[in-house]
């Protein structure tokens, strides 16, 4: 089993708080198994301990950050620390803080991540647990929409948009949040605000420690900072960084595909509350070497998105299947899965105000599931599958953003190299589309 982790040695970092404007110091210390992430207010006589979980989330204290509180004490703007902890796989951590807010540092999570890495991470005896899903979860509040879909890893799609001439829309798909990707592509993304917000924030006692050194300030036609952006799409990357931290308030790491439109701290936490209601807790076994046995009972296997991409030639923007389930006991059948997010490019024109997935793309998703089934066989490694005809297509009901397509295909006629496949697409157990395909398989060089 994969084990829980903590850090080996004590490390610290100090700096000014973004909103309080006060110097604060955080000390990261090792924690015991099953303790989770715990903040300790060492400046208070009672040294209040506040576990970083959604049950301790507090709304209304800081609109520009995530806040946790207990027994009248609180710590706010914790999202960068939580983000680094989740990305590094740290399950248990004591965080002593001598103020109500951690330092903002350079406005990103990079220094927190580097500091934790310097403390060295070690395994504990207890097994690591994850939140996983059997069905989608949807949350909506104001302009924010966040959905989660079953997945065997932690992945995120995010889109942001503002009524602003310089920063109108950015989006990014992260197919897997792991340590290396996080440090390279997300940790350095800085927090940002619009120049017209600063005066209002400071009147409300916020952003007192903000400066060009720790935040990107956006104007009507660009940014005020002399330092160039670290990424061309730094704004959406920072939103993903924040979202990773807020999601860790679930109390355990997550394995799911998160699709977020215009996320924000309070709504992120609102989503977490809905997520844990439907999620279940699961332990993960470490991969072990398997000795081949020809008498082994046929087993079911699920090909991840990366494995599917190694089998079929389709690529963005036409890849229409996220993963495929195969069963050695039924070699002529397969089930594909497609998370239909609101970020799909075809929804922009099909149709504005009434988004519907084009029927031809549902048929394509079934075809790609079939293609994966055929070409996953070792003897088909250097082959391509072509569909010669499509018959008896019926569209039963529309497929919309947020739907989770289940694509069932079955060979009804033919042999190894040619034949006919029947496909059916379902959403929530209801048939949306069906069709039959004639196929032929040929060598790549023929």
pLDDT digits (tens, 9 = 90+) for 129-180: 999 999 999 999 999 999 999 999 999 999 998 888 888 899 999 988 999 9
Question: What CA–CA distance (Å, rounded) separates 111 from 139?
Answer: 32
pLDDT given for residue 446 in this prediction: 58
Range of the domain at 413: 300-443
Question: What CA–CA distance (Å, rounded) separates 16 from 101?
Answer: 9
Same domain, 277 and 310: no
**Cα torsion for 263, 174, 249, 200, to the nearest 10°?**
-30
Q: Is residue 293 part of a domain?
A: no
Last residue of a domain, one of 248, 282, 316: 282
Burial of 199 (0-12, 13-18, 19+ CB in 10 A): exposed
Same domain, 304 and 432: yes
What's the whole-number mean pLDDT along residues 396-409?
92
Pair 11, 68: CB distance under 8 Å = no
Q: Which residues are catalytic?
A: 265, 350
pLDDT digits (tens, 9 = 90+) for 209-239: 778 888 899 888 889 898 999 998 999 999 9
pLDDT given for residue 294 in this prediction: 36
What's the whole-number mean pLDDT along residues 99-113?
95
Pair 195, 218: CB distance under 8 Å = yes
Question: What CA–CA distance (Å, rounded) separates 364 from 338?
Answer: 11
pLDDT given for residue 289 in this prediction: 38
pLDDT digits (tens, 9 = 90+) for 68-95: 999 999 999 999 999 999 999 999 999 9
DSSP lists the bridge partners of residue 180 as: none
Same domain, 232 and 265: yes
CATH number, domain of 392, equals 3.10.129.10
Same domain, 186 and 310: no
Question: What CA–CA distance (Å, rounded) separates 418 from 420?
Answer: 7
Same domain, 404 and 262: no
Q: Is residue 438 part of a domain?
A: yes
Residue 345 has pLDDT above 60, yes or no: yes
């Amino acid at each position: 089993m994969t084990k829980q982790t903590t850090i080996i040695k004590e490390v610290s970092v100090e700096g000014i708080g973004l909103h309080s404007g006060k110097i604060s110091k955080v000390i990261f210390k090792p924690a015991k198994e099953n303790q989770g992430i715990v903040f300790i207010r060492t400046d208070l006589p009672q040294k209040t301990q506040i576990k970083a979980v959604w049950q301790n989330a507090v709304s209304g204290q800081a609109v520009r950050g995530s806040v946790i509180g207990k027994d009248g004490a609180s710590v706010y703007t914790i999202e960068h620390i939580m983000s680094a902890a989740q990305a590094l796989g740290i399950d248990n951590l004591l965080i002593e803080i001598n103020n109500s807010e951690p330092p903002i540092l350079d406005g990103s999570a990079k220094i927190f991540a580097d500091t934790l890495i310097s403390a060295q991470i070690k395994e504990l005896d207890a097994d690591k647990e994850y939140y996983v899903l059997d069905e989608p979860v949807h949350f909506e509040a104001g302009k924010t929409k966040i959905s989660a879909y079953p997945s065997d890893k932690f992945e995120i799609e995010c889109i942001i948009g503002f009524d602003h001439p310089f920063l109108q829309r950015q989006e990014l798909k992260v197919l897997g949040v792991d340590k290396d990707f996080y440090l390279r592509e997300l940790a350095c993304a800085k927090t940002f605000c619009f120049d017209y917000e600063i005066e209002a924030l400071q009147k409300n006692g916020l952003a007192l420690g903000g400066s060009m050194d720790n935040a990107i300030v956006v104007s009507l036609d660009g940014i005020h900072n002399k330092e160039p952006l670290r990424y061309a799409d730094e704004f959406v990357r920072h939103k993903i960084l924040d979202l990773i931290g807020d999601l860790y308030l679930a109390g355990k790491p997550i394995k799911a595909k998160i699709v977020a439109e215009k996320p924000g701290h309070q709504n992120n936490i609102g989503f977490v509350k809905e997520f844990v209601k439907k999620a279940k807790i699961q332990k993960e076994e470490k991969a072990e070497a398997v000795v081949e046995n020809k008498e082994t009972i046929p087993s079911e296997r699920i090909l991840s998105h990366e494995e599917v991409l190694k089998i079929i030639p389709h690529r963005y923007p036409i890849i229409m299947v996220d993963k495929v389930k195969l069963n050695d006991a039924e070699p002529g059948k397969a089930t594909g899965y497609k998370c239909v997010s609101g970020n799909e490019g075809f929804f922009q024109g099909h149709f504005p105000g009434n988004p519907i997935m084009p029927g031809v793309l549902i048929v394509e998703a079934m075809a790609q599931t079939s293609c994966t089934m055929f070409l996953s066989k070792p003897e088909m490694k250097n082959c391509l599958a072509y569909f010669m005809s499509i018959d008896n297509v019926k569209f039963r009901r529309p497929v919309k953003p947020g739907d989770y397509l289940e694509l069932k295909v079955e060979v009804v006629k033919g042999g190894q190299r040619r034949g006919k496949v029947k496909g059916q697409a379902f959403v929530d157990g209801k048939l949306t589309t069906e069709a039959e395909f004639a196929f032929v398989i040929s060598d790549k060089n023929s």
